[in-house]
Chains A and B, each alone.
Chain A
Amino acid sequence: MKADFHIWRGDASGGKFEMYSTEVAEGMVVLDAVHQIQAEQANDLAVRWNCKAGKCGSCSAEVNGLPKLMCMTRLSELPLDKPVLLQPLKAFPLIKDLVTDVSWNYSVKKKIKKFKPRAPDAKDGTWRMYQQDIDRVQEFRKCIECFLCQDVCHVLREHQLYDRFIGPRFLVYTAALEMHPLDIEDRMDDLKKANGIGYCNITKCCTSVCPEDITITDNAIIPLKERVADRFYDPVKRLFRLFRSKKTIKS
């Protein structure tokens, strides 16, 4: 059986959709079809991929308008009676064809204060941590940095507030650090100001596209918002904090 693919071809200076028709077989994913087209019809078609198993988060693109990992999207999930529409992520500058410049994400991460553990407190010079205390952080650490959540977030996608908002991926990253049982750094001020957590109005688009099923909004962003609110908008706690260390407030 043959299927048709409408693939965006072009670079920053412009481009258009090109139609490709290729043979499809049982079990194929979108990335297989793209590779087949690349090998047989368009050797210079630009596509980014690595593991082909949903673990590296490289092959993010928009499939029929929805942000997806191409390696985990089976053709059987798509209506093949009309062409499959393949476009690059919209929230990032285009490099070529299906490949975008996601370097902004890397510079954002670098600006977030790094992990800072408390001094080891077990006799053997390490720490003790219990599974129930790390479960929620392990959920955030499943993130494969595919940036689909960044792509779908309207603060970035529609409003382009790249200089004021770090996006869901880095709110999850911050949550993983803030809720890490060993971490003693304080990122609340940055979250409120430079990192713009207030721009998120919890529409949960990010959660709905996460290929790792991380409950981004409920488990990461909302608790962070509560911490920021506690810190900056609760007058009693503000007064209280004058007399107490940060460590108590964090937990």
Chain B
Amino acid sequence: MSTYDTYDYDVLVIGAGGAGLRAAIEAAAHGVSVGLICKSLLGKAHTVMAEGGIAAALSNVDERDNWRVHFADTLRGGQYLNNWRMAELHAKEAPDRVRELEAWGALFDRTKDGRILQRNFGGHKYPRLAHVGDRTGLEMIRTLQDHGIHQGIDVHMECTIISLLKGGERIAGAFGYEREKGQFKLFRAKAIVIATGGIGRAYKITSNSWEYTGDGHALAYNAGAELMDMEFVQFHPTGMVWPPSVRGILVTEGVRGEGGILLNNAHQRFMFEAIPELYKQQTADNEEEGWRYTQGDKQAKRPPELLTRDHVARCIVREIKEGRGSPHNGVFLDISWIKSKIPHAADYIKKKLPSMYHQFKKLADIDITNEPMEVGPTTHYMMGGIRVDADTQMSTVPGLFAAGEAAAGLHGANRLGGNSLSDLLVFGKRAGEHAARFAAANWPATIDEREVNSIARQVLEPFERTTGENPFQLQYDLQEVMQDLVGIVRKEDELLQAMDELQKLQARYGQVKVVGNREYNNGWHTALDLQNLLTVSEAITRAAIERKESRGAHFREDYPKKDEQTGNCNLIIVKGKGGEMLVKRETLTAMRPDLIQIIDEMK
């Protein structure tokens, strides 16, 4: 028998980034009791790393912008696999969610007439991203945190959930441990919101921190919920590549929004080659026009550096592969060239991109106001996730909700920059509201204590082994497999090989050994996260095998074209009766005629 502390809540929110905090605030506002689980300390979640801004059609900078344009941009970016209802809600509600942050104390950069300033970003037709220099995520999470701590929410910091618990078909609670002493905690809850973010740690080169091990995806999957779109992993085109220890750290798209250009080793702006058909109408004809766009000329079309992330990442890979890369296997990203265009360029860059300036200066001895950066793609974001109802964010398990990166639907095959922060706010709020309503309408489901004890026994097993696998080594090996075989450019034989490798890793996982005791033991935490990483890695790989076409972030070298026959569907991952992972095809639901009309008008 294991000992554990027990907590009772109407709504339990797992994850305390933007989506989790927003969900918790909303649930609390509906008068129910709320518990909030943070894997790290409060305010340290990955939202803090978001740089560029929050996409919302406030139309403060360009009055032509409105929710319809934002909706159409989002679907075009997602290659029309998006859940259109989510995209509609998102585009309509994002402006209010941004204004709400201001009412809670956020201080966005301003327009000359004192309103919230908006900047250009990839795939957005008009300047749309509300921002604070290049530290928008910090502003957002701090605002939510500082507001949230006064709403009567019970915060459990440095606490990790290992398993969800069900009573019959319904969600009943969650079981986990706190890091400090390694003690178990049982949370009984009538409704649970998963807001655990992404899966970036499945890859070697990533912008994600240690926390992003697909916990929410795996928890929901194991509880019987469906996952969707798992083949769509976003590789951000610009991560740092040198020195090796900083490889993968994000370089904001804001650099390109402010006029930064991509160059190969022959000093060519290679992004002007191969502009996708879908975007030909919207892309600048020449460098001069591109520059004018970044400076707010409303007649100009956007430079190709601001095409969608999937496309830019692939172009960079192409340049490197064909021998036109930079010395450390990247390409050049240059913002310093704007010196030739505007006075006081160095001060402008430092003001607009302060953390990029600081990051390169400190970590790479590069002064970005004076010389180009070296950049290459880095694993950044999971478009796929828990399949949810668009309006309520409830998964296929009653009482289990999901929001933010852990949920699927809004972004389709590729997410536009800036649409993540707005996603967190819009659907965090919705998930919180509907979880609260669900909790108010239902009695708690019963938890089987034997199940709890059996989970506790299982997670302590690695301590009992005297010989076995080093959890850190196992994680590295997994990351190598995913990076090499299920990365930006995929093909069948490599994906099948990845499946084999994952099976071997799963077997090795059964032998993982943990040294020391339960107190703040990073080795133990890494070991427990590994099972989630293995689950999501398998889901990504299986879905990538099944989708025999190239679309958005999923690129198959052996099927390089979009396939309208087989591709217009979502792939659903679900746990079979015997515990095996199944992939199902789900045809897209027909879009409402008024929304189809918007898409047609915006073509």
A and B held together in a complex = yes
Within 8 A of B (CB), among A58-98: 58, 72, 74, 95-97
Summed over the interface, the residue pairs from A and B with CB atoms below 8 Å come to a total of: 165
Pick the contact of B520: A49, A97, A120 (CB < 8 A): A97
Is A56's beta carbon under 8 Å from chain B?
Answer: yes
Render B362-405 as a binary contact track against A, CB cut-off 8 A, 1 for contact: 11100000000000000000000000000000000000000000
Task: Kindly specify which of B35-43, B331-339, B423-431, B481-489 makes contact with the partner chain.
Answer: B35-43
- In the complex, the answer to whether A43 meets B242 with C-beta atoms within 8 Å is no
Which B residues lie within 8 Å of A103 (CB)?
Answer: 157
Check if B520 sits within 8 Å of A46, measured CB to CB: yes
Measured between beta carbons, the chain B residues less than 8 angstroms from A48 are 40-41
- Contact of A44 with B516 in the complex, beta carbons under 8 Å: yes
Write the A21-40 contact mask toward B (1 if CB under 8 angstroms, else 0). 00001111100100000111
B457 close to A (CB within 8 Å): no
Knowing A44-B523, A72-B362, A141-B107, say if A27 contacts B150 (CB, 8 Å): no
The minimal Cβ–Cβ distance linking B296 to chain A, given in whole angstroms, is 16
A38 touches B472 (CB 8 A): yes
In this complex, which of B157, B242, B362, B517 has the most chain A Cβ atoms within 10 angstroms of its Cβ? B362
Q: Is A193 engaged at the interface, CB distance under 8 Å to the other chain?
A: no
Question: Assuming the A-B contacts A43-B471, A43-B515, A52-B249, are A57 and B44 also in contact, with contact meaning beta carbons closer than 8 angstroms in the complex?
Answer: yes
Given contacts A39-B473, A51-B49, A54-B358, whether A26 and B244 have CB atoms under 8 Å apart is yes
Q: Does A251 lie at the interface of the complex (its beta carbon under 8 Å from any beta carbon of B)?
A: no
Q: How far is the CA of A20 from the CA of B127 in the complex (A)?
A: 51
B139 contacts the other chain (CB 8 A): yes
- Interface 1/0 per residue, B494-533 and A, CB below 8 Å: 0000000000000000000011110111111010000000
> Which of B133, B138, B147, B364 is within 8 Å of A55, CB to CB?
B138
Given contacts A27-B246, A53-B49, A57-B44, contact A110 B149 (CB under 8 A): yes
- Is B363 touching A58 in the complex (CB atoms < 8 A)? no
B249 adjacent to A38 (CB under 8 Å): no
Query: Which residue in chain B gives the minimum CB-CB distance to A146?
Result: B44
Q: Interface-forming stretch among A126-134, A150-158, A217-225?
A: A126-134
A116 to B, closest residue via Cβ: B105
Q: Quick one: which of A29, A144, A145 contacts B245, CB cutoff 8 A?
A: A29
Give the docked Cα–Cα distance between A250 and B247 (Å): 47
- Which of the 9-residue segments B108-116, B279-287, B564-572, B588-596 touches chain A? B108-116
CA distance A49 to B359 in the complex (A): 17
Q: Is the CB of A110 within 8 A of B150?
A: yes
- Chain A CB within 10 Å — which of B44, B149, B249 has the most? B44
Is the CB–CB distance between B107 and A137 below 8 Å? Answer: yes
B243 contacts the other chain (CB 8 A): yes
- In the complex, whether A238 has a CB less than 8 A from a CB of chain B is no
A39 to chain B, nearest CB (A): 4
The residue of chain A having its C-beta at the shortest distance from the C-beta of B43 within the complex is: A145
Task: Pick the contact of A43: B44, B244, B470, B476 (CB < 8 A).
Answer: B470
Contacts A97-B520, A134-B107, A141-B142 given; does A114 touch B249 at CB 8 Å:
no
When distances are taken between beta carbons in the complex, the residues of chain B under 8 Å from A137 are: 107
Instruction: Please measure, in the bound complex, the distance between the C-alpha atom of A84 and the C-alpha atom of B516, giving whole angstroms.
Output: 24
Contact A51 B522 (CB under 8 A): no
User: How distant is the Cα of A157 from the Cα of B119 in the complex, in angstroms?
Assistant: 43
Interface size on A, residues (CB 8 A): 59
**Which residues on the B side are within 8 Å of A57 (C-beta)?**
44
A117 to B146, CA, bound (A): 14
- Interface code B207-229, partner A: CB below 8 Å = 1, 0 otherwise? 00111000000000000000000
A50–B44 CB distance below 8 A:
yes
Q: Name which residue of chain B comes closest to A28, CB basis.
A: B245
B7-57 contacts to A, CB under 8 A, are 40-46, 48-49
Q: How far is the CA of A117 from the CA of B43 in the complex (A)?
A: 22
- The docked-state distance in angstroms from the alpha carbon of A177 to that of B107 is 11
Candidates B99, B147, B473; contact of A114 at CB < 8 Å: B147
Known contacts A55-B49, A114-B150, A131-B109; is-contact A27 B139 (Cβ 8 Å): no
Q: What's the nearest-Cβ distance from chain B to residue A131, in Å? A: 4
Tell me if B102 and A127 are in contact (CB < 8 A).
yes
- B105 and A180 contacting across the interface, CB-CB below 8 Å: yes
How many angstroms from the CA of A142 to the CA of B242 in the assembled complex? 26
The reply to whether the CB of A205 lies closer than 8 angstroms to some CB of chain B is: no
User: Inside 8 A of B150's CB, which chain A residues have their CB?
Assistant: 110, 114
> B135 in the interface, Cβ–Cβ < 8 Å?
yes
B132 within 8 A of A: yes
Distance of A109 Cα from B147 Cα, bound (Å): 11
Given contacts A43-B470, A128-B114, A130-B114, is CB(A27)–CB(B132) below 8 Å? Answer: no
B266 at interface by CB-CB < 8 Å: no
Cβ A46 vs Cβ B521 within 8 A: yes
**A138 in the interface (beta carbon within 8 A):** yes
Once the chains are docked, how many angstroms separate the CA of A181 from the CA of B515? 53
Closest CB of chain A to B114's CB: distance in Å?
3
User: Which residues of B lie under 8 Å from residue A144 when comparing CB positions?
Assistant: 48, 138
For residue A106, CB closer than 8 A to chain B, the reply is: yes
Please give 13 more A-B residue pairs, beta carbons under 8 A apart, in addition to A50-B210, A56-B44, A141-B142: A27-B363, A29-B245, A43-B472, A46-B521, A46-B522, A51-B49, A55-B48, A56-B48, A95-B519, A114-B150, A126-B99, A126-B102, A138-B133
The 5 closest A-B pairs by CB, nearest first: A27-B243, A44-B516, A43-B523, A128-B114, A39-B472
Show 23 A/B contacts (Cβ-Cβ < 8 Å), sorted by A: A27-B364, A28-B243, A28-B245, A39-B470, A43-B470, A44-B523, A45-B522, A46-B521, A51-B49, A53-B49, A53-B246, A53-B249, A54-B355, A56-B209, A58-B44, A99-B520, A109-B146, A114-B147, A117-B105, A126-B103, A128-B115, A141-B107, A145-B43
Query: Hey, which bits of chain B sit against chain A, CB under 8 A?
Result: 40-46, 48-49, 99, 102-105, 107, 109-110, 113-115, 132-133, 135, 137-139, 142, 146-147, 149-150, 157, 180, 209-211, 242-246, 249-250, 355, 358-359, 362-364, 470-473, 476, 514-517, 519-524, 526
A residues at B contact (CB < 8 Å): 11, 25-29, 32, 38-40, 43-58, 72, 74, 95-97, 99, 101-103, 106, 109-110, 114-115, 117, 120, 126-131, 134, 137-138, 141-142, 144-145, 177, 180, 182-183
